Structure 1
Amino acid sequence: MSHALPEEENNSGRLRDPTAGAVVIFYRPDPACFTRANRLASLIPLVVVDNTPGANPAQRGQLDARIEYVASGKNEGIAAALNRGVEMLRAQGCEQAFLFDQDSEASATLIDGLLNTIRSLVHRGQKVAIAGPAYHDSRLGTITPFVRFGKWRMSRVPITGQEPLEIDFLISSGSCLNLSAWQEVGSMDAGLFIDFVDVEWCVRARRAGYSVLGLPWLVMEHSLGDEPATFLGRRFAMHSAFRHYFIFRNALALILYRSYMPLSWKLSELVKFPVRLVVYTLLSGEPRKQFSMICRGISDGLRNRLGPLC
């Protein structure tokens, strides 16, 4: 992928913009992940960082030749992998970077909408750090509302209108970073490994005076977790015990040791603790393993012990 080359036209007639790129994180990808990555590479220059343990360059499989494939050789976490991909795009002169999970479905409409909005606002002098779409989770059957942090509680922002909404955080998948903000805000916190990485980065961006924008007219399909469970009439996204370790650990570490995290976010996470403990333990099908990993996460969070699970 070279930015010295002229713009390249893809099969749909859309020009691949060499000043914007995308990062996709692989972890034990199935064939559909390779298909999605190849489809994305026809729209925008792409870096794939493979966090599959033992992965090597020979395992790029049927990836499009234009894709830069990086095999980490281990699961280094979502934050470190995103940092690696973003830095590669920055080194190649990209001004914006899209972030995607391996199961994210991207479209030309999404990419053009985010790029046009960011560039228009930056041209008018607005400091934009990141923009992203609304998210529809087919498993939960809902479009996730955007969120703002109040003094004591978080508020939900309706997904309506044709104007960018000033919000306080976005999930990373499907979002578009404005790389002029990257150096000032800093990279993703690799110590967090996976959960709350996007929340923590957006908080730092807002503190640095940058906007975090939700674009309600753009909606992306995105599944949060495994098959959801129902408890007291509510549906909860479920994860593996491995993920629940990080959810509890990182929430506690951010609550106790990061003074810049908003009080309303901290209170919200504390309220969720007992509910998550019950739901994740009793409705997972593996209560002992879940309970053990959650307790381990709580213990490590209390001690601010971050990094990968050892």
Structure 2
Amino acid sequence: MSAQPQTIAGIVIYHPDEANLLRLVGALAPDVREIVIYANSAVSSQDEESLRAAAQGTDLSVIRPGGNLGLGAAYNDLLDHATGQDASFLLLLDQDSLPPPGAIPRLAARHAQLAEAGEQPAIVGPRPTDWAGKPLQSPPGQGGSGNAAHASRVQFVISSGSLVNCEAARAVGPFRTDFFIDAIDVEWCMRANHRGYSIWIAEDVPMAHELGRGRIRLPFGLSPTDQPPRRLYTFLRNQLAMLRMNHVPLAHKARTLVLLPLRIVVYLGQNRFSREVRIALWRGLIDGARAELGPPETALGRSAHRQDNRATVFKRPR
């Protein structure tokens, strides 16, 4: 069965690069029933017209929440929309990814093959690569074999590019809105595993994806993502919050406790002990220990939010 009538694609945007977003919409259009843009930053009616033109006749709609509500709220609203349209699958994407042609039908086929093999897949994601095609670091394995479906079972996948089974998602429960950004996909996938579902990577479906501002290369193969202060805060805070959660594996908690001190030292050095980074890391430690979550602006202030907004504002094509 074609994936086209089953799948709705949801793209979460925040001050996207115009050319990249239009290219992404055009790439998705042949393989989905509808494309939904979740606009955490303003999209004018003229911008929307450009997006509709890029969709080449595929239905396209824009959800305007009236501000940046974070990724968890966006994913939940997109899932509600897909469920309301009786879609079998929701493809989650952000503006920094580009699936190859035919990726969506292939991900849907992996879902079907895994289900036929007796698995309960909640998500099948692509194999993320950098823009040069080099595979990014694999998440930890979860056990189980999907060899027949050219898939590997893992603890989690990155949300962008992942094909979510809508029925399974309703059973697993909503994405955490209080995390706002960072580790939302990790926590949800671990919760799905805990509740009897499974998370998979389709090894034969690569997808170019940009992580943060790039990678920080360290000895022994370590390469943490370089992030602005606002993202360092949410990363550290949310990882600490996950230490309290019963569905998070002990191995992940142990890895977090071992690597977080190293990450803090690396981020301080990478940013030359800047005041913004010191504040972000300190607040992340405090709020993570207290389980005080929510939008990062609550802790860091609006000035840090403005400094981290480095992306290009969407403009009309000329």
TM-score, with length taken from structure 2: 0.82
Give the 3 Å change call, closer, same or farther, for CA 42–279 of structure 1 in structure 2: same
Deviations 1:214-266 (A, max 9, x none): 211221111211033334475432011000000110011111x3122111101
Higher relative contact order (CA 8 A, sep 6+): 2
Counterpart-to-counterpart distance in 2, 1:67 and 1:285: 44
- Report the structure, 1 or 2, having the larger helix content: 2
Q: 1:34 aligns with which of 22, 45, 52?
A: 22
What SS is found at the alignment partner of 1:206?
A: helix
What SS is found at the alignment partner of 1:67?
A: strand
One-letter amino acid of the structure 2 residue matched with residue 299 of structure 1 = I
Give the 3 Å change call, closer, same or farther, for CA 139–196 of structure 1 in structure 2: farther
- How large is the Cα RMSD of the aligned pairs? 2.7
- Report the structure, 1 or 2, having the larger strand content: 1
One-letter amino acid of the structure 1 residue matched with residue 74 of structure 2 = A
Task: Give 5+ residue unaligned stretches, structure 2.
Answer: 54-58, 299-318
Counterpart-to-counterpart distance in 2, 1:186 and 1:146: 22
Q: How many residues align?
A: 289
Match of 1:21 in 2: 8
What SS is found at the alignment partner of 2:31?
A: coil
Identity of aligned residues (%): 30
Task: Give 5+ residue unaligned stretches, structure 1.
Answer: 1-6, 8-14, 151-156
Match of 2:125 in 1: 132
Q: Would you say 1:100 and 2:93 are equivalent positions?
A: yes
Match of 2:35 in 1: 46
Give the 3 Å change call, closer, same or farther, for CA 140–224 of structure 1 in structure 2: farther
TM-score, with length taken from structure 1: 0.84
Give the 3 Å change call, closer, same or farther, for CA 71–56 of structure 1 in structure 2: farther
One-letter amino acid of the structure 2 residue matched with residue 131 of structure 1 = V
Counterpart-to-counterpart distance in 1, 2:195 and 2:90: 19
Query: Are the equivalent residues in 1 in contact too, given 2:142–2:153 (CA < 8 A)?
Result: no
Q: What does residue range 1-310 of structure 1 map to in structure 2 within 5 Å?
A: 17-32=4-19, 33-44=21-32, 45-52=34-41, 54-55=42-43, 59-60=47-48, 62-64=50-52, 66-123=59-116, 125-138=118-131, 141-148=134-141, 163-232=150-219, 234-255=222-243, 257-284=244-271, 287-309=274-296, 310=298
Deviations 1:280-300 (A, max 9, x none): 112125622111111001111
Counterpart-to-counterpart distance in 1, 2:166 and 2:85: 12
1:117 CA drift (Å) = 1.4
1:146 CA drift (Å) = 3.7
Query: Are the equivalent residues in 2 in contact too, given 1:149–1:265 (CA < 8 A)?
Result: no
Query: Are the equivalent residues in 1 in contact too, given 2:31–2:102 (CA < 8 A)?
Result: no
